[in-house]
Structure 1
Amino acid sequence: MRTALILLFLLALGALPGALLPQRSLNTNKVADYIEQHGWWGRLLNTLQFYDVYASVWFSAIYLLLFISLVGCLLPRLWEYLKQMRAKPVLTPRNLGRMPHHAESTLDDQPAAVIEQAKQNLKGWRLVEREEDGGARTISAEKGFLRETGNLVFHFAMLGLIVALAVGKLFGYEGQVIVKADGSQEFCNSGVLGYDSFHPGLRVDGTDLSPFCLKVNQFDAEWLPTGQAKLFNAHLQYQSGDDLDTGTWRDYQLQVNSPLRTEGDRIYLLGNGYAPVFTVTFPNGEKRTMDTQWRPTNNVTLLSEGATKFDPPGITDARERRTKQLAITGLLAPTAVFQGKLMDSSFPALDNPAVAIEVLRGDLGIDNGRGQNIFTVDQQMVDDGRLKSVARENLLPGQDVKLDDGTVVRFDGVKKWVYLQVSHDPGQFYVLIFAILIILGIGASLTIRRRRLWVRAAPGEDGRTVVEVGGLARTDQAGYGEEFTRLAGQVLGGKH
């Protein structure tokens, strides 16, 4: 048990970095920012797996050792408990006067009648009646076995909780995806390619996910005058099970801490943001419109940054195309305020949207076979001079800027998007059951008292019966003294 307690303490200590440091499973961007800000210290923590605490080797080792220690601790205790349950209460001590609780009296009733009366007063106790030399009769009674039962339930439930959590980590998964909140984008849980980020369990390969589809038709947000969020509500429709075959869409109001539960998965609303809509009219007259999401840099005012990237149409030569790709980067302010040409946002609602953009032209590096962050451009391309700035401008909805080659970039407006998380944990139900059992077990262990009581009725020299009552509590908890006094009074006073 000492080993188990030490390991439990180490497990709690090991979980602290998971609460204090950003974790990759929750926000990869924050982890990258933290490492960049803290230099060698951030890189050292990364090497020691402090940004993946719950998947780290050292945390898993503590977890496994705790499991083994609990098994080694509980099996002998269970065996001893079963033997105690089958055993009879211990013999009545020869000298009851040495017990912590003791009472004695002389009664006119015969020993057999006293013992029979005592048995009536001790209903609910485990007891055994015995005879001693000289005609004395005794009762050995015990009560409070549920205390040890609760103790074992608590520890076995903790063991079950560890197993359930391990099953969840093995066969569960989490994925995050950004969905436009205008009903134009449909997300289906058919594979990992539909996610922006995906974190599978150790036994999940992403080919057998729970099938469902959803789309967000509208997103409503309410804000306090201070800019703090008051309410987020995503009006979505979803399909799962037979609905996928019939084409039936079901409505659901998705709110923070009110996930959608379907097909064993849970869909959470994690965040929201804005996507500026740009239309680019190329020199040949062709138009392209894109509404790529930008990420908030200020969670209070939702001032956002991002990059909307365009490939020029009508150019078949790959080398020439890589010299005329466009990226619109900059800031988006939901409620814009200006100090000269410097723009900021004063409120998170779309009261006065505007963008401060820089248009880059050249090679975006999207053809080199490497993945790119959708919120930024490849800085290496800028540093190499292969991606150059050709315009900077502040734009309100409907305004445009014309480039030197005749290309026109127009800011059309803003769309909303929501950030969703899909979580699948096959051990979740069992975690709940074992958590409830832990509470019940520890409650029983703390409130039930293990106690013993003995009654001896022996013939006296004057023909009367000498009755002794002794009591012993396994722990020195308050309350047994009152119970003993009551029971002793009933036995010695002849009351039922």
Structure 2
Amino acid sequence: MTVVEQRPAPPAEPPPKRPHRWWALLRNSWRQLTSMRTALVLLFLLAVAAIPGSVFPQRAVDSQRVTEYYQAHPQLAPWLERLGGFEVYGSPWFASIYLLLFTSLIGCVLPRLRDHAWALRQAPPDAPRRLDRLPVSVADRSVSSAPADAARDISGILRRRRWRTRVREQEDGSFTVSAEKGYLKETGNLLFHFALLAVLIGVGFGHWYGWHGNRILVQGADQGFCDSLAQYDDSTLGPRVDAADLPNFCLNLKSFQASYEPSGQPNKFSATVAVSEDDGPEKIREFTVNDPLRLHGANVHLIGHGYAVTLRYTDRFGAAQTKIVPFLPVDGMFTSEGVAQFPDVNIDPKTNKRDAGLQMGFEGRYLPTVGDGATSAYPAENAPGLFLTAYRGDLGLDVGTPGSVYALNQGQIATGDLKNVSGARPHELKIGDTWTLDDGTKLEFLGTRPFATLSIRYDPTQTLVLAGAAIGLAGLMLSLAGRRRRVWFRALPASPGSAGGTLLSAGGLPRTDYPGFADEFAQLVTAAEEGTP
């Protein structure tokens, strides 16, 4: 009887420990975020998100246009305000796409950079056993030199053609030459992505530490401008900038030259200004639309121009006030609209009190060249005319509510607090004309002055963004022009019965789509046979 000894079963191995659910979720989310597909989707979303910034007026660029949009679209504008439509590039949803793209690019590019650096240090792989299975191949090409010399010569030929090569001796006495080319494609790809990162960094830091402001500068020594927040028509400072960081300079518009084609199309604009920086002496500088005035800590861009109307109003007590009022162009022929407000008039000299119901406002159009219609016939001042409507009453300026300086308060007109006292049609004034109103007060049209619309900006990362754009373009060209490919040569000793020498076989493998690879491979084989570089 056979006794079978029963051994205890070995203990079961514990099941593999599953990763924590939240850790797995974070890891998978990071992999999805740092994939190239996600980066492309985010880049597309960023481009789409920037479209509203071109469609709707932006408060950081021109707050006056935002005010005009509110007046033209009173129902839609508040909704756009809630969605950040007037401050697209500073909105939370645009910033979230921006930051996600930045993170995705870093997580995508850094591992690829590590792999690319590792690949550049590695020797090309050895030749496969069956070269005839490659897309292009040749066999039994005879050369007179020994296998080692033939392999060495082939390696030199390939090196002179900028191939990375490696010669290996095999166990059967043959020699193989491995060659690789086209790493610039991946280099260019990585260069493009790093350049894109540089642009994103530049835009972000430029928003933090940059600032800009707009100013209408009228010609004349009495209309000078110094760089302070109070003297800007509208301005925006970066989150890391305050008023004390603004540079110290002053501008005075000496003259403005404009020329036009016979059709009215602009030909050339240029402004001549007197500039003083850091309380230094004044210097006369000239700049144009495409050639900004470059100062220490700021660039002054010429973005527009127009005409400022000079008016003198004499009230019922004989006191006169003169105002120089810019009228803003509304079309290409410089038909301009504006308003002149005189809130501090008709003050009784006996009591020194002002009657708020006797304030004056004049609203209308200025035409550089009066034609047959209500618009200017030419942008230059060939036959200037000013068409004004007079309003008397409370201008609504004393309540402290912000309003446009280029239009009267329509609410005051609607309630009757501001009344039309000039009749149904605007009154036409030529330069030098005097208009006597119904209460005996007078308005004189003294003339015009040109004004320049200036955009004053400072972006500390402008050079970085420009360099990133140039490097990105170069990287893109390298990525498109580079083609990854490999070739192998095997040098075998000739059979004992032959006259001696070496038999060559070769094969090639394009790593990317390369229609001209077969011709290049044929040229390499011919050069290897003939021993020519």
Task: Report the TM range for the smaller structure's normalisation.
Answer: over 0.9
CA contact (8 A) 1:165 1:427 kept: yes
**Would you say 1:209 and 2:246 are equivalent positions?**
yes
Q: How does 1:108-127 map to 2 (within 5 A)?
A: 108-123=144-159, 124-127=162-165
Shift of 1:304: 2.4
**Would you say 1:370 and 2:406 are equivalent positions?**
no
Query: Paired residue for 1:20, among 34, 51, 55?
Result: 55
| Counterpart position of 2:274 | 237
Q: Give a deviation string over 1:109-161, Cα, whole Å, max 9, x none.
A: 21111112112211232222211111111121212222211111111111111
**Would you say 1:169 and 2:202 are equivalent positions?**
no
| Counterpart position of 1:386 | 417
**Would you say 1:472 and 2:505 are equivalent positions?**
no
With 170-179 and 288-297 compared, the bigger mean Cα shift is at 288-297
Give the letter for the 2:328 counterpart. Answer: R
- Distance in 1 (alpha carbons) for counterparts of 2:109 and 2:413: 63
- Distance in 1 (alpha carbons) for counterparts of 2:264 and 2:337: 15
Q: Give a deviation string over 1:170-218, Cα, whole Å, max 9, x none.
A: 11112100111234321111x2111001122222223211222211111
With 268-277 and 291-300 compared, the bigger mean Cα shift is at 291-300
Q: How does 1:420-435 map to 2 (within 5 A)?
A: 420-435=454-469
- Distance in 2 (alpha carbons) for counterparts of 1:90 and 1:30: 64
Q: Give a deviation string over 1:310-332, Cα, whole Å, max 9, x none.
A: 51265486863423322222222
2:364 is paired with a residue whose SS is: strand
- Distance in 1 (alpha carbons) for counterparts of 2:65 and 2:439: 39
Query: Paired residue for 2:79, among 44, 53, 61?
Result: 44
CA contact (8 A) 1:353 1:414 kept: no
- Distance in 1 (alpha carbons) for counterparts of 2:384 and 2:102: 55
| Counterpart position of 2:186 | 148
Give the letter for the 2:409 counterpart. Answer: D
| Counterpart position of 1:250 | 283
| Counterpart position of 1:72 | 107
| Counterpart position of 1:179 | 217
2:168 is paired with a residue whose SS is: strand
| Counterpart position of 1:438 | 472
Query: What RMSD in Å do the two structures reach over aligned CA positions?
Result: 2.2
Give the letter for the 1:333 counterpart. Answer: L
Query: Paired residue for 1:30, among 44, 65, 68?
Result: 65
Give the letter for the 1:234 counterpart. Answer: A
CA contact (8 A) 2:62 2:234 kept: no
Greater C-alpha Rg: 2
**Would you say 1:138 and 2:169 are equivalent positions?**
no
Query: Paired residue for 1:325, among 345, 359, 362?
Result: 359
In structure 2, relative to structure 1, the CA distance for the partners of 1:115 and 1:282 (3 Å cut) is same
Q: Give a deviation string over 1:226-283, Cα, whole Å, max 9, x none.
A: 222222121112123xxx3432x22222211221111132111111122221112233
| Counterpart position of 1:157 | 195
| Counterpart position of 2:532 | 495
Shift of 1:334: 1.5
- Distance in 1 (alpha carbons) for counterparts of 2:405 and 2:69: 20
1:116 is paired with a residue whose SS is: helix
Shift of 1:38: 4.3
In structure 2, relative to structure 1, the CA distance for the partners of 1:30 and 1:284 (3 Å cut) is closer
Give the letter for the 1:106 counterpart. Answer: S
Q: TM-score, normalised by structure 2?
A: 0.86
In structure 2, relative to structure 1, the CA distance for the partners of 1:362 and 1:20 (3 Å cut) is closer
- Distance in 1 (alpha carbons) for counterparts of 2:447 and 2:453: 20
1:329 is paired with a residue whose SS is: strand
CA contact (8 A) 2:270 2:287 kept: yes
Gaps of 5+ in 1: none
Q: Give a deviation string over 1:282-310, Cα, whole Å, max 9, x none.
A: 33333221111122233324232323325
Q: TM-score, normalised by structure 1?
A: 0.92
- Distance in 1 (alpha carbons) for counterparts of 2:485 and 2:297: 47
Percent of counterpart pairs with the same letter? 36
2:172 is paired with a residue whose SS is: helix
- Distance in 2 (alpha carbons) for counterparts of 1:327 and 1:467: 97
CA contact (8 A) 1:402 1:409 kept: yes
With 314-323 and 180-189 compared, the bigger mean Cα shift is at 314-323
Shift of 1:58: 1.3
| Counterpart position of 1:54 | 89
| Counterpart position of 2:321 | 288
- Distance in 1 (alpha carbons) for counterparts of 2:266 and 2:143: 77
**How many aligned residue pairs are there?**
488
| Counterpart position of 1:86 | 121
With 198-207 and 296-305 compared, the bigger mean Cα shift is at 296-305
Shift of 1:353: 1.7
1:455 is paired with a residue whose SS is: strand
- Distance in 2 (alpha carbons) for counterparts of 1:250 and 1:167: 32
Give the letter for the 1:69 counterpart. Answer: S
- Distance in 2 (alpha carbons) for counterparts of 1:162 and 1:134: 57
- Distance in 1 (alpha carbons) for counterparts of 2:78 and 2:487: 65
Shift of 1:36: 4.2
- Distance in 2 (alpha carbons) for counterparts of 1:43 and 1:371: 17
Give the letter for the 2:257 counterpart. Answer: D
Shift of 1:35: 4.4
| Counterpart position of 1:297 | 330
Give the letter for the 2:332 counterpart. Answer: N
Shift of 1:39: 5.1
CA contact (8 A) 2:394 2:417 kept: yes
- Distance in 2 (alpha carbons) for counterparts of 1:265 and 1:215: 16
Shift of 1:338: 5.9
2:460 is paired with a residue whose SS is: coil
In structure 2, relative to structure 1, the CA distance for the partners of 1:37 and 1:279 (3 Å cut) is closer
CA contact (8 A) 1:150 1:443 kept: yes
- Distance in 2 (alpha carbons) for counterparts of 1:315 and 1:296: 37
Shift of 1:344: 4.1
- Distance in 1 (alpha carbons) for counterparts of 2:55 and 2:185: 37
| Counterpart position of 1:449 | 483
Give the letter for the 1:419 counterpart. Answer: T
Q: Give a deviation string over 1:403-460, Cα, whole Å, max 9, x none.
A: 3443222111122211110011111100010111101111111112222121211223
